[in-house]
A and B are shown apart, each in its own frame.
Chain A
Amino acid sequence: MSPARHNSGLMARIPLPALATATLALVTTALCFVFFVAPNDADQGFSQRIFYFHVSIAFTAYACFIGGAWKALRYLWKRDPSADLESYVGVHQGVIFGSLVLLTGSIWAKISWGHWWLWSENQLVLFLVLFLFYCAYFMLRYSLDDGPQRANLCAVYALFGVVLIPVSFLAIRLAQRFIHPVVFTSHGPNFHGWILVTYCISQAAMFVLAYTLYRVELAGKRLDRRLRDLRRAYA
């Protein structure tokens, strides 16, 4: 079975080398823009440039989680067996990017406010909750034998994730009122010109990077599975 037959989407037909080249070009362009084109922030100076990575990585992580949940829904709905693996790989990429959000957010918090962790930063707290939630996803997956039951339970749990994201977002905003009455604002309203262009390029670079990593991991996992099937058939 060729990988192209698994998912017939337009994106899935782009060959991996082309994707990798596009990723390299976009990430390089994004780095050039972030370091040489975007103006220094009036408030926070040079260090504010981490914003371009932090925010675009955060949106990429959301996209991965939503993609993983979409594939999970497809599995439950259409009983498409390849959707289970796709959902898992999507969630895996989401967790990798989610950890990067925690890391970059922590660095930014240290530089801006002098603390490695701030409970008043909604985005960081939300990602911590999601990180815990999706860590449990992996434990659930590795605690079950390969088969339809594992695919079912993982798909249902991945779907819970997309319900949890808005609910937790709302809850953490509500918690601000009794835990931290003071809300920090990280950037002003001046979101235009080169800042916007740089942000859009870094966002595109992160999306393409995530998609390439997703495809690479998926190809590897499928190869593993085929090899296992062949071994089993041979034995």
Chain B
Amino acid sequence: MNYVADIRALTRKDLLLEVRARDTLPAMLVFVVAIFVVFHFALPAHSSALAARGLLWVAIMFTALLALGRAFVPEREQRVLDALVLAPSDRSAIWIAKTLATLAFLVAVEIVAVPLFALFFHGVDGATIAAFALADIGICGVGTFVGAMAVATRARDLLLPLLFLPLAIPIVIGGVGASVVSAPGRYLAFLALYDLLFAVVCWAAFEYVVTE
């Protein structure tokens, strides 16, 4: 029960910080619209709806990277992470709370981006929405984890995409697969498997990322 309360308090802190400072969400929204405009000019005329759907996944992936790069910045600048590690709670609660906060930002962006995509390019089906729901968990879980790793290094922002993208390739395959084929069940199941597997690994290993 204490664990849940810790997670709730930490998530609330991140969301409150965003409501007051508005650092991340507006940037993500502007970025995703800018990417759509770039894609419009990058796609040749009469290219297929399938290609556009693939690009939607690219757009979401890079927008997520923007949020993940910011995720641990407040903790780093104010040295809050040291205090959180010293607090008498399980360290994995820090990871879960940060994942939930990032997930909230990403879902908020998708609520705007997916209808906008339908307006600019083509509509999306239910399978794509389901794939986004599953992929978001994987993106935020793994992304937050490697974000915490990257923030400890000298290279920081440079390192995050390099650490994250190879790990995210299976998510892109599962997501694009679910969006473009007629029977998406196999791909959705794969995304769920990915989420489960990496959630367990991240949950168990996060302690080693923030402690020495």
Contacts and interface: CB of A to CB of B under 8 A. Distances in A.
**Interface residues of A toward B: which range?**
20 to 34
A177 B208 contact: no
B194 interface: yes
A140 B166 contact: no
B173 A174 contact: yes
B208 A143 contact: no
Nearest to A163: B201
B50 to A, nearest CB: 9
Given A156-B208, A175-B173, A143 B154 contact: yes
Interface of B: 149-150, 152-155, 159, 162-163, 165-167, 169-170, 173-174, 176-177, 180-181, 186-187, 190, 193-194, 197-198, 201, 205, 208-209, 211-212
Given A76-B208, A136-B163, A144-B153, 13 more contacts: A139-B162, A140-B150, A143-B155, A149-B152, A152-B209, A153-B149, A159-B201, A160-B201, A167-B198, A170-B170, A170-B193, A175-B177, A178-B176
B180 to A, nearest CB: 6
B212 A133 contact: no
Interface of A is mostly: helix
A135 interface: yes
A163 B197 contact: yes
Contacts of B169: 129, 168, 171
Closest 7 pairs (CB-CB, A-B):
A171-B170, A133-B166, A143-B153, A143-B155, A171-B173, A136-B162, A132-B166
Interface in A135-165: 135-136, 139-140, 143-144, 147-149, 152-153, 155-157, 159-160, 163-164
Contacts of B205: 76, 156, 159
Interface of A: 76, 129-130, 132-133, 135-136, 139-140, 143-144, 147-149, 152-153, 155-157, 159-160, 163-164, 167-168, 170-172, 174-175, 177-178
A39 to B, nearest CB: 39
